[in-house]
Structure 1
Amino acid sequence: MNTSKNSICVLKKLNFDPQLSFLTCLRNLLTLSSLLFRQVCLFLLIIICSWDLVNAASKKIVCYYTNWAQYRTGIGRYTPDDIQPGLCTHIIFAFAKVAQDPETKEYTQLLNFEWNDLAMYKKVTALKSPGVKVLLAVGGWTHGVWLFNQMASKKTTRKTFIKNAIAFLRKHNFDGLDYDWEYPKGDSKEKFAALVQETRKFFEEEGQNQNKERLLVSAAIAPLLDVIDDGYDIPLLAENLDFINVMAYDLHSHRHLSHHSPMDKQRETIKHLQSLGAPASKLILGIATYGRSNTLSGSSLHGMGDVVTGAGKPGVFTKQGGILAYYEVCTYRKDSDWQEKVHPTQQVPYGWLGYQWVGFDDVTSVGRKANYICTEQLGGVMIWTLDFDDFTGGTCGEGKYPLVRAAKDVLSKPSCFEETEAGGKLWNLDFINVMAYDLHSHRHLSHHSPMDKQRETIKHLQSLGAPASKLILGIATYGRSYTMSGSSLHGMGDVVTGAGKPGVFTKQGGILAFYEVCTYRKDSDWQEEVHPTQQVPYGWLGYQWVGFDDVTSVGGKANYICTEQLGGVMIWTLDFDDFTGGSCGEGKYPLVRAAKDVLSKPSCSEETEDGEKL
């Protein structure tokens, strides 16, 4: 019996259809990549599709980018440069349009809306990574239904549109298409269902014929029950869409004070969709990063149901009556005369200042909704939109993108994805790579892979039923860096001005490969400490600070793996280690070898998998 610990090296992402089950993904991956791995890895001999495994088990964070936010002024102006890499699992570019073919006069073209969309496409799709997909949305509220009806009225025009859409998506490097038909009704219900069904069919055929990863197809749907019943063939849509974005907001009255995204109505919508045949794993709950505002009819008439005189005043930056971006709401909240309550059954905040009233979501209510997503095992969260959150971090005092991060923090917890999409336990997997890093703050100096938090994660997974022998502790071969706010402010918890400078070779702010850290360590002005409870090193040079793992801390984590009889170590990634051996003076792959040296000792494998002594 093989009793040694596994060392798992994640070399690259291999693409698989996301609809594959976990075990199928693992089986296919091991079959396809074993020869390659034997050639590349000197000591270990299992490779896993790490990102696909995590994405399959974790929740989607679907974020809409709007191409008109570029026209706002001041801190409200938003461009692709403001999108934080890795924040979302899916970015949807809103919007493109259905257009008329100048030759046939039929509405079969997919075209850009804005004059500079093509340049913006390049910037947004440049954010694609192993864990991030970018889709293009067609439609939207101002697009209207007429163009969709013209395109979807006949099978021939639907087919031509889909073929043109495939060419457009491939040309501009998108991963899929999101339908935002607001809203089909009557005979449009059948047209929309046919359009989605045929889109999925042609996307599958194109992927197979061209030997490419299949394009994704999703849709944004209305939250009102009567609109759902009149416009959507839910069983057919659920069968063919990769996921369904439920626009669970704008549920307010225009005559009386009411919240536009109350949790009780959102639950009602989700239950209704499930009763019609939509699987929970495909339902993405929409959360709005804006509030809906009203003008009160009296200074004391601020309770739910009170009559209003109309929409609230336009925001300074959004400039639209009745809507306030979250960062504009935060300005109200800072006023000493602001009053605020949380509705007991709707579980969302609202507040008023003078005659201005607004219902909105904050970090607490978004976290509550994210917990609901976990409890009901929904597919994830949809954010409308990135540009309404406090994306600069300069208004609300909660860091950049506080609402998106509030959702992500909850949805990323192991307890949230205990169940697989098929309803089985994650513990049925052959092994589980625990990404026990990137546990840092973005506003204060903190280490991204402290041992105390790693132990806490492992204990939590075991409390949920995970066998120690299947848990593979992740160790990062890179450090997370910051720019300090003062030369003496280098202690844990001190405020930072932002991410550290990009590495010479990795060229990404906030990240340094271990071999780049070694360059810092050789500088005579470098200062370094080991945190007493976190048991990991960190150091600073001038205003640059980095927390990282070295040979000593990796050895300590490997000893922890042995003591707790975990299944082994996962290395993210080989290319961040000093693989040439030319920078750190510790030979090739010093971090990987530090782990392997400990895990290969007979004392580490004292127990067999069956618990018997060797």
Structure 2
Amino acid sequence: LLHCRGTTRWSGCGLTYRRCQSVNNMKVFVQVFLLCCVAWVGETRFVCHYTTWSRDRPDEGSFQINDIPGNLCSHVVYNFLGVNETYQLGLLQPEYDIDERGLERFAALKEQFPHLKLLVAVGGWAHGGAKFSEMAKFRTRRNQFIGSVMRFLHQYRLDGIELVWLYPGNFDRGGAVEDKDTFLYLVTEMGKLFREEGKLWEVVIQVPVDVSRMAVGYHQEALCEAADFVHMVGYDLRGWWNNFADVHSPLATRPNDLVMESFEHINVGDGVEDWLTNGCPPEKVTLGVALFGRTYLLDDPLDNTIGAVTVGAGDPGPYTNEPGYLGYCEFCHNITGSDWTLKWDDVGLCPYAYSETTWIGYENERSLQEKINYVKRKGFGGIYAFSLDLDDYRGGCGEPFPLTRFLSKNYHDETKIKEWHVFSSTTEKKDTDQSEVKQ
């Protein structure tokens, strides 16, 4: 007798606990289960995010739907749609989504890449949390929203939704005290209605690994049970707003974090562990990694270690045009110059670099391999990359999509763990953890 358990061993086939429960006919269940799992064997979840605003960047920075490397990804997520004034799924950029056929062309990726699962993300930083909070407050509004999502998924033949509510329960983001409960209701009811529709649409939630936000807005165990996958944001844990230089996706607590007590547990490892300890199954976890760096202006060019005092954000890049933020495509060539010093955080397992008063913490092949090892060691369900348009997709520093390609190849590799014995890449030239390299 097959028992329904909350495991995503079946989720690659769309057979999570909640879907398993809905199958009353055991003969039908067995047939569907076997058919699905034939398709699922060997599947790994490498999710790539596509941002619609990247199309408007100048010159070589313009990233279009036809630039998406569907051969490298198992899933692609379209960022973003929103919640409208009538508590339904709304378009944030209708001139692109509809007039320029953005959604239609996105859905057509399946014609070129039949293996792809295509999702749409709802929310995001600019969207805020107020509309989510208002929509989720009442069941009638939640039903309106879920119904509009279902019609949308039918219309564009998509495979699911990622809820990017930043952040439930946080007053500074338009939240309310009851958000913690109503977010759970929303995810649970969405899964139930998807199931009743007879579709294997994914319900994905994006959540922080910043422990200061978790208790306020998330019933961790229940949310993980209700969702099919949980995308954990393993980046942006530091930035120029903190007034000290640091990598923004450290895997563990470093000595300098102990000096600043509020940062002792603000790292990927501690944040994810909090979710696991509070009942989130590792098979449902998809860890997010960044294809961008966070930049700073040093107060003193001679004080350039992690924790150095900073006086603001680094200069904006030519494409992203955002202070304190550079896509890999905007700095991968610069840091190979003789005026840059490249370093490695031995504990956080991330690279950083500096030149005069400019300091940047980022990801490269070495740090991404460390995160792949971490994901495999913990038995997580997958990895996601944010975002494709920030990688060196034109190949200005070598092969196009170097970081995306590295993640896809090495995460799909059946080898359990890979050690980085001899390191060489386009972004750092040294073969020990301790040495500093002047090029």
Corresponding residue of 1:52: 40
Corresponding residue of 1:158: 142
Pairing 1:124–2:106 present:
yes
1:78-137: CA deviation from partner (whole Å, max 9, x where unpaired): 010100122111111000011023xxxxx2343343411131112222223453210011
Corresponding residue of 2:186: 195
What is the CA-CA distance between 1:367 and the residue it aligns to?
1.3
Contact map agreement 1:326 1:389 (CA 8 A) in 2? yes
User: Partners in 2 of 1:163 and 1:359 — Cα distance?
Assistant: 42
What is the CA-CA distance between 1:308 and the residue it aligns to?
0.4
Matched AA of 1:111? L
CA separation of 1:31 and 1:293: change in aligned 2, threshold 3 A = closer
User: Partners in 1 of 2:33 and 2:212 — Cα distance?
Assistant: 48
What is the CA-CA distance between 1:221 and the residue it aligns to?
0.8
Contact map agreement 1:67 1:114 (CA 8 A) in 2? no
Corresponding residue of 1:502: none
What is the CA-CA distance between 1:396 and the residue it aligns to?
2.3
User: Partners in 2 of 1:157 and 1:245 — Cα distance?
Assistant: 25
User: Partners in 1 of 2:210 and 2:203 — Cα distance?
Assistant: 22
Corresponding residue of 1:111: 91
Corresponding residue of 2:127: 143
**Aligned mate of 1:72, from 57, 64, 67:** 57
Matched AA of 2:189? E
Corresponding residue of 1:593: none
Corresponding residue of 1:226: 212
User: Partners in 1 of 2:13 and 2:180 — Cα distance?
Assistant: 32
CA separation of 1:30 and 1:331: change in aligned 2, threshold 3 A = closer
**Aligned mate of 2:340, from 320, 338, 341:** 338
Pairing 1:176–2:165 present:
no
CA separation of 1:323 and 1:114: change in aligned 2, threshold 3 A = farther
Contact map agreement 2:91 2:97 (CA 8 A) in 1? no
Corresponding residue of 1:379: 381
TM-score (norm 1): 0.58
What secondary structure is seen at the aligned counterpart in 2 of 1:182? Answer: coil
Query: Structure 2: any 5+ residue segments left out of the alignment?
Result: 1-11, 21-26, 170-176, 253-266, 418-439
What secondary structure is seen at the aligned counterpart in 2 of 1:383? Answer: strand
User: Partners in 2 of 1:181 and 1:139 — Cα distance?
Assistant: 6
CA separation of 1:31 and 1:50: change in aligned 2, threshold 3 A = closer
1:419-440: CA deviation from partner (whole Å, max 9, x where unpaired): xxxxxxxxxxxxxxxxxxxxxx
User: Partners in 2 of 1:160 and 1:308 — Cα distance?
Assistant: 47
What secondary structure is seen at the aligned counterpart in 2 of 1:68? Answer: helix
Corresponding residue of 1:28: 31
User: Partners in 2 of 1:380 and 1:409 — Cα distance?
Assistant: 13
Tell me the percent identity. Answer: 31
What is the CA-CA distance between 1:197 and the residue it aligns to?
0.5
User: Partners in 2 of 1:335 and 1:51 — Cα distance?
Assistant: 47
CA separation of 1:91 and 1:226: change in aligned 2, threshold 3 A = same
User: Partners in 2 of 1:184 and 1:30 — Cα distance?
Assistant: 35
1:191-229: CA deviation from partner (whole Å, max 9, x where unpaired): 11111011101111112xxxxx32111011112012011
CA separation of 1:376 and 1:16: change in aligned 2, threshold 3 A = closer
User: Please, which moves more after superposition, 213-222 or 270-279?
Assistant: 213-222
User: Partners in 2 of 1:85 and 1:380 — Cα distance?
Assistant: 17
What is the CA-CA distance between 1:298 and the residue it aligns to?
1.4
CA separation of 1:16 and 1:372: change in aligned 2, threshold 3 A = closer
Contact map agreement 1:97 1:113 (CA 8 A) in 2? no
User: What does 1:340-419 align with in structure 2 at a 5 Å threshold?
Assistant: 340-393=342-395, 395-397=396-398, 399-416=399-416
Contact map agreement 2:238 2:247 (CA 8 A) in 1? yes
What is the CA-CA distance between 1:283 and the residue it aligns to?
0.7
User: Partners in 1 of 2:276 and 2:310 — Cα distance?
Assistant: 35
Matched AA of 2:405? R
**Aligned mate of 1:204, from 191, 195, 203:** 195
User: Partners in 2 of 1:304 and 1:30 — Cα distance?
Assistant: 51
User: Partners in 2 of 1:25 and 1:396 — Cα distance?
Assistant: 52
Corresponding residue of 1:498: none
Contact map agreement 1:196 1:237 (CA 8 A) in 2? yes
Contact map agreement 1:332 1:353 (CA 8 A) in 2? no
What is the CA-CA distance between 1:29 and the residue it aligns to?
6.3
What is the CA-CA distance between 1:331 and the residue it aligns to?
2.3
TM-score (norm 2): 0.80
The structure whose RCO (Cα within 8 Å, separation 6+) is larger is 2
Corresponding residue of 1:261: 249
User: Partners in 1 of 2:318 and 2:127 — Cα distance?
Assistant: 26
What secondary structure is seen at the aligned counterpart in 2 of 1:115? Answer: helix
1:389-431: CA deviation from partner (whole Å, max 9, x where unpaired): 11122x222x1211122222222122349xxxxxxxxxxxxxx
What secondary structure is seen at the aligned counterpart in 1 of 2:297? Answer: strand
User: Partners in 2 of 1:215 and 1:151 — Cα distance?
Assistant: 21
User: Partners in 2 of 1:330 and 1:89 — Cα distance?
Assistant: 26
User: Partners in 2 of 1:26 and 1:108 — Cα distance?
Assistant: 33
What secondary structure is seen at the aligned counterpart in 2 of 1:85? Answer: coil
Corresponding residue of 1:305: 307
Instruction: Give the total of aligned pairs.
Output: 371
Matched AA of 1:117? D
CA separation of 1:25 and 1:142: change in aligned 2, threshold 3 A = farther
What is the CA-CA distance between 1:269 and the residue it aligns to?
1.2
Query: Structure 1: any 5+ residue segments left out of the alignment?
Result: 1-14, 33-47, 102-106, 208-212, 418-614
Contact map agreement 1:350 1:360 (CA 8 A) in 2? yes
Corresponding residue of 1:167: 151
Contact map agreement 1:140 1:182 (CA 8 A) in 2? yes
What is the CA-CA distance between 1:343 and the residue it aligns to?
0.7
User: Partners in 2 of 1:242 and 1:217 — Cα distance?
Assistant: 5
Corresponding residue of 2:226: 240
Contact map agreement 1:97 1:112 (CA 8 A) in 2? yes
Contact map agreement 1:341 1:351 (CA 8 A) in 2? yes
1:50-103: CA deviation from partner (whole Å, max 9, x where unpaired): 542222xxx3111111010001012211010100122111111000011023xx
User: Partners in 2 of 1:86 and 1:51 — Cα distance?
Assistant: 17
User: Partners in 2 of 1:409 and 1:368 — Cα distance?
Assistant: 14
**Aligned mate of 1:318, from 298, 302, 320:** 320
Contact map agreement 2:290 2:385 (CA 8 A) in 1? yes
Contact map agreement 1:189 1:233 (CA 8 A) in 2? yes
What secondary structure is seen at the aligned counterpart in 1 of 2:47? Answer: strand
